[in-house]
Amino acid sequence: MLNKDIQICAFDSNECNGKIKKVGDKVSIPETNTELISCGMFLCVFHYNKFILNENHRLEKILQVCSHPKHELYLNQSNKSFKQQNPSLINIPKRLINILGLEENAKICNRCKRNTDKDPEYLQTEEYQAPIPIKSNEDNIMKIGTHTYALRSNILYTQTELKQLEFDYQEIVSQISISNEISLSEKIKKMSSILYKNQHQLNQKPIYDSIAFKIMLETADEDLISFFDELYAGTNPNTKSDKTNESNKKKLVSLCYFLASINNKYINGLKTDIGSYLQTAGTSASSIDTLNNLGFSVTRKTVDRQKLLISDEHQETVNNYCLQNIEKMFFLNIDDYHNIHRRNQPTLLQTHNIFHFVTILLNSNPNIFKISAYSSNNISVHNPIGIDSELIIKNINEIFMSKLNKSYYKQNEMWKQFLTEDSYENRMELLTVHNYDGRI
């Protein structure tokens, strides 16, 4: 059985070729083929072109008629061979619009155009303008090297002359040496100068975003405009996916920093970040020094100095972060960590190890603003300086430490007044300090 979904051309023959199309409602079917073709019919490309496209094109040529008022007169005056030819139409010249009384979009044939300039009826009118003759004057001939050009006031050239002119122009341009073009080595030197200034004078961190890096270079020096784009074009981006191209852009940023560090060894911001990451990941000191010899990292000593510098600037860094995000919602995550390990074979001095430390992570969300809250006297409850360490220490000393720094004996004296009505056993139980050491 034949599959009903298979589409077959209505003129199923050996001439059928190409995809099968359905004749839609908006297709202009030629009047000469309305008996053969109808909407909804399936046609192959060959028959679609033959009965619809080509036929419409043929009919359009037949329907094109010269708009000149004396077209039939000039046609009868011409010889027999010209009568049989189907004349091609051109846009009417502007100088003939008024004397012929035609519209600007009217079309006439070349025969009528030539005869108009010979017709005494039109030549005697005041509105008639004669065509500008194309004269070959030797004074208008210019020679440039081995090339000769005819200069014309009406700027009219034949197709052959125009092609030759374009060919000669491209040949001359290819021979011109552009002296203002900056070499690749000069661009690398300029880039190195910019990156050195950013790191050691402006104290800026390396920029890893490709768009921000490109804008930074082009803003600092006009000679570096499109420099990053030229490097990116060398990665053959047209044959790669968007994800791969974005990854290559990041790699190019790192490559620029490496090229700059070869030009100037003090441009080491990227290498410092790599060395810090390697040490944090547990890489040995000898491995970091080996990568330093290969030019991919700084030495272990430089990493240690950088970490010490970051530690000294930690308080300032936190303060700056709080001030920059003072209007945003803060998230404070406290990890109160206890690590208890009991020894299987206790010693005389220690039965188990207890480690206790607290990790605090401060973060903010730029899309969430702080909640406005005011006291009864219309004063904002939010501290204008964000995390106020002095105020926190003051409140701890005055409010909490006054209670926490009391000895157990003093606290017992205060509790006794609340235990007078309780039994002796309960009071003794509450006042007993329990020690759960198994050896006691």
Residue 110 CB contacts under 8 Å (≥ 6 apart), including other chains: 87, 88, 90
Q: What's the CA gap between 316 and 337, in Å, rounded?
A: 26
Residues 182, 223 contacting (CB under 8 angstroms): yes
Where residue 241 falls among pLDDT bands split at 50, 70, 90?
very high
Q: Is 379 helix (H, G, I), strand (E, B) or coil?
A: coil
Tokens of 111: 């025969």
Q: Is 296 helix (H, G, I), strand (E, B) or coil?
A: coil
pLDDT value for 195: 93
Where residue 105 falls among pLDDT bands split at 50, 70, 90?
confident
Lowest mean pLDDT among 41-45, 51-55, 134-138, 202-206: 134-138
Where residue 428 falls among pLDDT bands split at 50, 70, 90?
confident
pLDDT value for 193: 93
- pLDDT for 47-85, tens place per residue? 888 888 888 877 776 667 788 888 888 888 877 655 555
> Which residue ranges make up each domain of the chain?
1-63, 71-123, 138-175, 184-316, 317-405
pLDDT at 412 over 70: yes
User: Whose structure tokens read 């008629």?
Assistant: 65
Where residue 135 falls among pLDDT bands split at 50, 70, 90?
low
Mean pLDDT value of segment 251-274 = 91
pLDDT value for 256: 93
Going from the C-alpha of 253 to that of each of 24, 50, 186, 265, the distances in angstroms are 54, 57, 18, 17
pLDDT value for 228: 92
Q: Is the pTM of this model over 0.85?
A: no
Residues 51, 28 contacting (CB under 8 angstroms): no
Where residue 3 falls among pLDDT bands split at 50, 70, 90?
very low
pLDDT value for 175: 63
User: Whose structure tokens read 């530690």?
Assistant: 311
Give the mean pLDDT of the chain: 80
Compare 27 and 133 and report the one with higher pLDDT. 27
pLDDT value for 352: 67
Exposed e or buried b for every residue in 91-123, given b needs 16+ CB within 10 A?
ebeeebeebbebeeebebbebbbebbeebeebe
- pLDDT for 157-214, tens place per residue? 666 777 777 777 777 776 665 556 788 889 999 999 999 999 998 888 899 999 999 9
pLDDT at 384 over 70: yes
- pLDDT for 354-378, tens place per residue? 777 788 888 888 888 877 888 888 8
362 — phi, psi (to 5°)?
-105, 125
Max mean pLDDT range (1-10, 162-171, 387-396):
387-396
